[in-house]
Structure 1
Amino acid sequence: MAKSDNNSYFRRTSLFWMVVVTVYVAFLTWMVFWPQDVPYGSLGPLGAVAKHFVDYHYALLYYGWFLLWPIHFCEALFAMKICSDKGIDSTSTRLLWFAQTFLFGFASLGLLLKYKPDGRSKRQ
């Protein structure tokens, strides 16, 4: 929930995006590290696409999984920069933005980018 104080503005990303990102990363992890255990036939069209990627583009999945984490880390660092630019100086609030952006990426970063602090408390 957004607080009125610009120093401690934080909004949690929507539950929809939390679930989507978590399920996607979990499924990608499953496909990369335990592809033989994924029940492709039970997943319908998603299973067929997943099986195709595992069979023909495994390197893309493998390196993509390892690239996902530095990308999210860079997004989280960018969130710290945006917090500074928008006058969010509370350490705990900045850590919340860092953690949320690291875990959920643009679903979190978009909320921070949309935030418009009022003119009185914005740094000059």
Structure 2
Amino acid sequence: MARSDGSSFFRRSNSFWIVTISLSLAFYTCSVFWPELIPFSSLGPFGALVKHLVDNHYPVLYYGWYLTWIIHLLEALFAMKLCSDKGIHSSSTRLLWFVQTFLFGFASLGLLVKYSPDGRSKRH
């Protein structure tokens, strides 16, 4: 149970985003490292586009894959700064924010950005 001072505040990302981002990153990973496993012809126009990218622009996909994970790492590090700024001091809670943000990026970071330790939520 979270303490009322907010030092253990954590919210899990929405299941929709967890599934969507996980499947997207898995597809991207397979496209870059194991394209022979993907049935491009069964995916319609999307499959044709990805097949074209794999065949003709592989370096962009390859370096883009690494860039994706670097961006996720930077988001996770930013989440650590936000935890400090918002008074979330529990080591286990900070680790949860780091891991969740590293894996799901904006879907996690958005929850932390919206959190207001004084109880007022930042909604638009």
Normalising by structure 1, report the TM-score: 0.88
Q: Distance in 1 between matches of 2:13 and 2:4?
A: 17
1:106 aligns with 106
User: Equivalent residue for 2:76?
Assistant: 76
User: Following the alignment from structure 1 to structure 2, what is the Cα–Cα distance between the partners of residues 56 and 2?
Assistant: 51
Following superposition, the deviation at residue 96 of structure 1 comes to 0.4
The one-letter amino acid paired with 2:41 is G
CA deviation profile, 1:85-116 (whole Å, cap 9, x unmatched) = 00111111100000000000011000000111
Deviation at 1:4, TM superposition (A): 4.6
Partner of 1:21: 21
1:59-108 CA-partner distances (Å, limit 9, x unpaired): 11100111222211111110000000001111111000000000000110
The RMSD of aligned alpha carbons is 1.8
* 1:56 CA drift (Å): 2.1
Letter in 1 for 2:31: M
d(CA) in 2 for partners of 1:11, 1:45: 37
Percent pairwise identity: 66
| 8 Å Cα contact 1:32/1:61 also seen in 2 | yes
3-state DSSP of counterpart to 1:52: helix
Structure 2 runs not aligned, ≥5 long: 120-124
- Aligned counterparts of 1:48 and 1:3: Cα–Cα separation in 2: 52
Report the counterpart of residue 122 of structure 1 in structure 2. none
Aligned residues: 119
Q: How does 1:1-124 map to 2 (within 5 A)?
A: 4-118=4-118
User: Which consecutive unaligned segments of at least 5 residues does structure 1 have?
Assistant: 120-124
Runs of 4+ in 1 over 6 A off after TM superposition: none
- Please give the alpha-carbon distance, in whole angstroms, between the structure 1 residues aligned to 2:2 and 2:115: 10
- Distance in 2 (CA, whole Å) between partners of 1:10 and 1:44 is 40
